[in-house]
Amino acid sequence: MGRKLFVGNLPYETMEQDLESLFGQAGQVETVTVVRDRATGRARGFAFVEMASEDAAQKAITALHGHQLGGRALTVNEARPPAPRPFRDDFGGGDRNRGGRGGRPGRRTEPRW
């Protein structure tokens, strides 16, 4: 079992300090990362919490899975590594026969002015 936990179904207003104090009740918290949208900076509704020990992580899962925060029941479980992504060698969409630009054949590529 790992010490890194996935926390899902978070209210969008949740801050790192909120989770640190909540998970601190189960044991020592090393890091809290609330995942945010790059463009808006708004939380995406999930986070990762790394606990100091295996026992603290298990205690946090047991105590906080289903816990109500901001009117939402939290999902707390062990974080899994991300799935491997397939390798793409074409660097984007489009049809290889048309120079990788996509679109209809014969479409104008230079500006109109």
Is 58 inside a domain boundary? Answer: yes
Is 67 inside a domain boundary? Answer: yes
- CATH code, domain with 17: 3.30.70.330
Tally the domains of the chain.
Answer: 1
Is 112 inside a domain boundary? Answer: no
Is 60 inside a domain boundary? Answer: yes
Put simply, whether the predicted model's pTM sits higher than 0.85 gets the answer no
Is 68 inside a domain boundary? Answer: yes
Is 61 inside a domain boundary? Answer: yes
Start-to-end CA distance of the chain, whole Å, equals 62
Give exposure, 94-111, as e/b (b: 16+ Cβ within 10 Å): eeeeeeeeeeeeeeeeee
What does each of the 113 residues of the chain score in pLDDT, given as a tens digit? 569 999 999 999 999 999 999 999 999 999 999 999 999 989 999 999 999 999 999 999 999 999 999 999 999 999 998 888 887 765 555 555 555 555 556 666 777 77
